[in-house]
């Protein structure tokens, strides 16, 4: 009898442990679904483009080719003739997690691909963990560096106009689209979206 009793107690303990573990996983799964739903409900939009440099030229305050000094105009023409026209800028996304969401969202990674005027350019990763509190717009700055000549043709003036349009400083409105795959932190660890979502699609410069 004593031996039978001694064996039955650990079995009951294991049963309770499995039940507790299953309940914990269930709660974690519910939390995961809540956090994924929160991220899906976040509204992303382009707020602005900042810190624009073309061929190393700071374009702050530049509205057209005529605003360039002789040195910068020559530098731009030389870069185009050498078929190297680096453009660096920052796309500021505004992420708004609706106030009526049940949880805050925590973005831990954003794999993105940038489209300009409907043309795919380059891809990158935003890896700064960002809390998206309910009801509060949050800035998500995406740094971009590309060679404009790899994707667009034209004269130095044409390409400058395109760069200024991207920044909203001049030229015709330019479509800027970011296709991205977010990763959100959950109770079960980071979860990556299985498919890309278009989180930004608007025309800058209007």
The encoded tokens of residue 157 equal 């003036």
Residue 128 reports pLDDT greater than 80:
yes
Q: How confident is the model at residue 3 (pLDDT cuts 50, 70, 90)?
A: very low
Whole-number average pLDDT of the chain: 80
Q: What are phi and psi of 163, to 5 degrees?
A: -60, -45
pTM of structure: 0.76
Instruction: Give the model's pLDDT for residue 24.
Output: 45
Higher pLDDT, 128 or 98: 128
pLDDT for 28-84, tens place per residue?
556 666 666 666 667 888 888 899 999 999 998 888 888 999 999 999 999 999 999
Give Cα separations from 4 to 1, 122, 172 (angstroms).
Answer: 5, 68, 85
Residue 175 reports pLDDT greater than 70:
yes
Instruction: Give the model's pLDDT for residue 184.
Output: 83
Instruction: Give the model's pLDDT for residue 194.
Output: 82
Residue 203 reports pLDDT greater than 80:
no
Provide CB contacts within 8 A for 184, sequence distance 6+: 35, 36, 38, 39, 105, 106, 107, 108, 190, 191
Instruction: Give the model's pLDDT for residue 106.
Output: 85
Domain map (residue ranges) of the chain:
2-204
The encoded tokens of residue 179 equal 């296709």
Higher pLDDT, 204 or 115: 115
Instruction: Give the model's pLDDT for residue 190.
Output: 79
The encoded tokens of residue 164 equal 């200024």
Instruction: Give the model's pLDDT for residue 9.
Output: 45
The encoded tokens of residue 66 equal 């005529």
- C-alpha 119: how far from its chain's center? 18
Point out which residues pair with 145 in neighbouring strands.
88
CA 197 – CA 190 distance, rounded (Å)? 17
């Amino acid at each position: 009898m004593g031996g039978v009793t001694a064996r039955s107690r650990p079995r009951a303990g294991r049963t309770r442990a499995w039940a507790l573990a299953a309940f914990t996983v269930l709660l974690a799964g519910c939390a995961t679904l809540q956090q994924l739903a929160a991220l899906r409900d976040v509204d992303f939009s382009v707020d602005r483009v900042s810190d624009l440099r073309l061929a190393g030229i700071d374009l702050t305050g530049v509205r057209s080719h005529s605003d360039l000094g002789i040195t910068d105009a020559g530098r731009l023409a030389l870069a185009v003739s050498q078929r190297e026209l680096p453009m660096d800028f920052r796309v500021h996304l505004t992420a708004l997690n609706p106030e009526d969401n049940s949880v805050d969202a925590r973005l831990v990674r954003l794999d993105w691909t940038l489209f300009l005027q409907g043309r795919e350019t380059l891809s990158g990763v935003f890896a700064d963990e960002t809390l998206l509190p309910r009801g509060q717009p949050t800035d998500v700055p995406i740094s971009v560096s590309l060679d404009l000549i790899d994707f667009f043709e034209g004269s130095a003036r044409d390409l400058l106009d395109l760069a200024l349009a991207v920044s909203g400083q001049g030229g015709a409105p330019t479509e800027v689209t970011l296709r991205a795959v977010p990763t959100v932190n959950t109770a079960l660890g980071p979860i990556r979206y299985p498919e890309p979502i278009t989180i930004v699609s608007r025309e800058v410069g209007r």
